Structure 1
Amino acid sequence: MQVARLNLRHLRVFREVAHCRSVSRAAPVVHLSQPAITQAIARLEDQLGTRLFDRRSDGMAPTQAGALFLARVERALALLRNGAREAQRLAARRQGSGSRAGGFADFEALASMAQLRALVAVSAAENFSLAARTLGVAQPSLHRAARDLERLSGLSLYVRTSSGIALTGSAAALAQAARLAFAELEQGFAELDDLAGLDRGRTTVGALPLPRSHLLPAAIEALLARRPEVQVAVVDGPYADLLHDLRHGGIDLLVGALRDPLPIDDIVQEPLFSDPLAVVGRAGHPLGGRKRIGLDDLTAHPWVLPRAGTPTRDSFERLFAGRTAPPCCVETSSLVLVRALLAGSDRLTLISTHQIRHEVATGQLAPLPFPLPGSARPIGVTMRRDWRPTAAQGLFLDGLRQAGRQLSGTGHYSETE
């Protein structure tokens, strides 16, 4: 993490100099001498490997690189400010039981990178020793940073439990803000690399099962054809886990079936194409040769289904509402496992037609002649509401949109099939 090298105070100095366009005018705002400000800017420029200001007779103007990084710094510091206000609000709601005397009202302006990184690490590890190991620091150093942030904020941040350390509500709000601020600054590093002609950026994508077979590969190939040095990391997992990672800055975007209603208002969804479901069995399944299939026929066979709470499982429950559902022997979201279980038996599954296009083309699986009107679901991308993609991430989004248009235009995934 390149962010670990940064000094939050230097970032605040950089922001004020950019606003004031003068070291002398920024000095009283940040409570530093002019030589200290000059030294802070020089240190930051050295860390970033670029010049941030043009020194002119009429003042200091941000360079192109400076303007790019300033936008990210502004967003990061705003996230920390809002996170601190939310942490204080949550403490106040507990009628003062979560607050401690001696804290500073604007404590986020005094917090250090080490203190915030300690908070984030403890929130993930729920243990001071494990958090220290994650950051590669001594446990006493991390513990001191964590407790210093408590004293600075005047908030109770950590609670001992039987299994380790838990965060208070105030701490959780602040930790989320810190993660998002760190992600914002990492985006800033990527934009500076891009400006310098270096493709060292990284896009982390949360992937639900459905888009892994075609949509994601097509978008990744389109991106790497234009930016071969960019790194793309794909993270699999349940929707709830991926949504948490998205909201906390662990992933940049989430691709898969969209949710209705929207689960929380700090994200936005963009549909890419609509995908119907089908009842599927192995090629040569006993029900495959029939002209008509009824629900009684479907209940005569065991099923392989995704876990409860997923959109596909909800569709299955609606299909058999008011009657005895067929037995479900296995719950899984793994297409590899579904394919293997269906291939060696007469089991059935409910799955997206897009997801099994390869298996159908190669004669492994086959949709059964059982109509499922109204089963089409919007497939798309979920992003943080205020997310601002880098240039490479913008290209990746364009690739997803183009792949979605191609799928919509093939005619293979229409509602009438």
Structure 2
Amino acid sequence: MDLQQMRYVVALAETRNFTRAAERCSVVQSSLSHRIAGLERELGVRLFARSSRRVELTSAGAAFVAGARECLAAADRAAADAAAATGVVRGRLAVGVIVTAAAVDVPELLQRYRAQHPQVSVALRSGRSDDLVMAIREGDLDIAFLGLPEGEQPSGVESVVLDHDRHVLVVPAGHRLAGAARVTLEEIAGETFVDFAAGTPARAQSDQAFTAAGLVRDVAYEGAVVELMTRLIARGLGIALMPSAYIRPLAADSPELALVPVVDGPRRVEYLAWSRFNPSPATRAMLDVLGVRTPAQHGRPTTG
């Protein structure tokens, strides 16, 4: 058994197709099939159930793939650590980003990172903050940019605060409140709202503010894409509360939208989070680019 055989098995398990698995591994299909069959003979078990149309993992195959992924990750980490010891950072960096990230210009950050560490491949993943934190804990992400309601912190990971922000009211330009100097939650509670999906940290920021004020509102439209949400607002279908640092640049180019400060509105904290367990050289390099200092095993990380 060797690492290449493990890579072939994992590729086939993920693609469920010999042709696509071979393409992913940059080998001819016959070679991949032969190596997997040889591994099955060596192990004395069938890793895959095959038919003319389907390829599926057996129970033994599922158990093998779980261990194979761990072995491959350890091998990749060993190679990255060895390279880092010579001053070269290589490997893979998995980065999670919420859709409303504003504290850091992520494309500009990645440009700087790429210039310093061209041998690192970067995988980007967008999602809700709680899912990104879980992915870090489970080892699927190395680092993530999050947004949480004020008073909440990422759990089970290392983190630093990047910025504090207030929400603003987003209304259509012709709305009765479009020219207001400021509003309160009570003044807007009777409106129809556009917001993020219930149960997400992005939604919780507004829900908690209304609950704290003893108010109930009607969320008629739920979404995950801000561009679509703002189009709904522009059409007069509802209003929304959104982080000011994120929405102000968008609204500046959208004359059909108006922003109004909210006196007692939600507040958000943006965080940078990463694994507590032995960050990879690529992760440590990203922290360096961000100016995050991580004293060895002592105290809380700080931004520099």
TM-score, structure 2 normalization? 0.68
2:201 to 293, 306, 311: 311
2:272 pairs with 1:383 = no
Q: What does residue 174 of structure 1 align with?
A: 67
| Rounded Cα–Cα distance in structure 1 between residues aligned with 2:291 and 2:66 | 33
Q: What does residue 187 of structure 1 align with?
A: 80
2:271 pairs with 1:350 = no
Judged with a 3 Å threshold, the aligned counterparts in structure 2 of structure 1 residues 360 and 145 are, in CA distance, closer, same or farther, namely same
Deviation digits for residues 191-230 of structure 1, max 9, x if unmatched? 48855xxx877644332223367342453355467x2856
**3-state SS of paired residue (2:265):** coil
**3-state SS of paired residue (1:180):** helix
Judged with a 3 Å threshold, the aligned counterparts in structure 2 of structure 1 residues 154 and 398 are, in CA distance, closer, same or farther, namely same
Which 4+ runs in 1 deviate beyond 6 A? 160-163, 199-202, 247-250
| Rounded Cα–Cα distance in structure 2 between residues aligned with 1:353 and 1:291 | 14
Judged with a 3 Å threshold, the aligned counterparts in structure 2 of structure 1 residues 387 and 261 are, in CA distance, closer, same or farther, namely closer
**3-state SS of paired residue (2:218):** coil
User: Whose strand fraction is larger, Structure 1's or Structure 2's?
Assistant: 2
1:236 to 109, 117, 125: 125
Structure having the higher Rg:
1
**3-state SS of paired residue (2:245):** coil
RCO comparison, higher one (Cα < 8 Å, 6+): 2
| Rounded Cα–Cα distance in structure 1 between residues aligned with 2:215 and 2:164 | 26
The answer on whether the counterparts of 1:204 and 1:234 sit within 8 Å (CA) in structure 2 is yes
TM-score, structure 1 normalization? 0.53
Paired residues in the alignment total 282
In structure 2, the gaps of 5 or more residues are: 293-302
The answer on whether the counterparts of 1:282 and 1:346 sit within 8 Å (CA) in structure 2 is no
2:107 pairs with 1:214 = no
The answer on whether the counterparts of 2:18 and 2:33 sit within 8 Å (CA) in structure 1 is yes
The answer on whether the counterparts of 2:170 and 2:241 sit within 8 Å (CA) in structure 1 is no
Judged with a 3 Å threshold, the aligned counterparts in structure 2 of structure 1 residues 399 and 347 are, in CA distance, closer, same or farther, namely farther
| Rounded Cα–Cα distance in structure 2 between residues aligned with 1:153 and 1:243 | 37
Deviation digits for residues 108-142 of structure 1, max 9, x if unmatched? xxx21221111220232133343223223344432
| Rounded Cα–Cα distance in structure 2 between residues aligned with 1:120 and 1:248 | 18
Matches within 5 A, 1:13-412: 111-153=1-43, 157-158=47-48, 164-166=55-57, 168=59, 169-185=62-78, 187-188=80-81, 191=84, 194-195=87-88, 203-211=93-101, 214-217=104-107, 219-220=109-110, 222-223=112-113, 227=116, 229=118, 233=122, 235-239=124-128, 252-257=142-147, 262=155, 268-282=157-171, 284=173, 285-288=175-178, 289=180, 291-295=182-186, 297-303=188-194, 305-319=195-209, 325-332=217-224, 334-345=225-236, 347-359=238-250, 365-372=258-265, 375-383=267-275, 385-390=277-282, 393-401=283-291
Which residue identity lines up with residue 176 of structure 1 in the other structure? Answer: R
| Rounded Cα–Cα distance in structure 2 between residues aligned with 1:122 and 1:243 | 28
The answer on whether the counterparts of 1:127 and 1:165 sit within 8 Å (CA) in structure 2 is no
The answer on whether the counterparts of 2:185 and 2:264 sit within 8 Å (CA) in structure 1 is no
Which residue identity lines up with residue 293 of structure 1 in the other structure? Answer: T
Which stretch shows the higher mean deviation, 235-244 or 164-173? 235-244
Judged with a 3 Å threshold, the aligned counterparts in structure 2 of structure 1 residues 329 and 367 are, in CA distance, closer, same or farther, namely same
Q: What does residue 65 of structure 1 align with?
A: none
How far apart are 1:311 and its partner, in Å?
Answer: 0.5
Deviation digits for residues 131-175 of structure 1, max 9, x if unmatched? 223223344432343344445446664457996414645234214
Q: What does residue 100 of structure 1 align with?
A: none
| Rounded Cα–Cα distance in structure 2 between residues aligned with 1:217 and 1:137 | 33
Judged with a 3 Å threshold, the aligned counterparts in structure 2 of structure 1 residues 362 and 384 are, in CA distance, closer, same or farther, namely same
| Rounded Cα–Cα distance in structure 2 between residues aligned with 1:158 and 1:147 | 9
User: Whose helix fraction is larger, Structure 1's or Structure 2's?
Assistant: 1
| Rounded Cα–Cα distance in structure 1 between residues aligned with 2:196 and 2:39 | 43
Which residue identity lines up with residue 394 of structure 1 in the other structure? Answer: R
**3-state SS of paired residue (2:56):** strand
| Rounded Cα–Cα distance in structure 2 between residues aligned with 1:309 and 1:157 | 39
The answer on whether the counterparts of 2:9 and 2:36 sit within 8 Å (CA) in structure 1 is yes
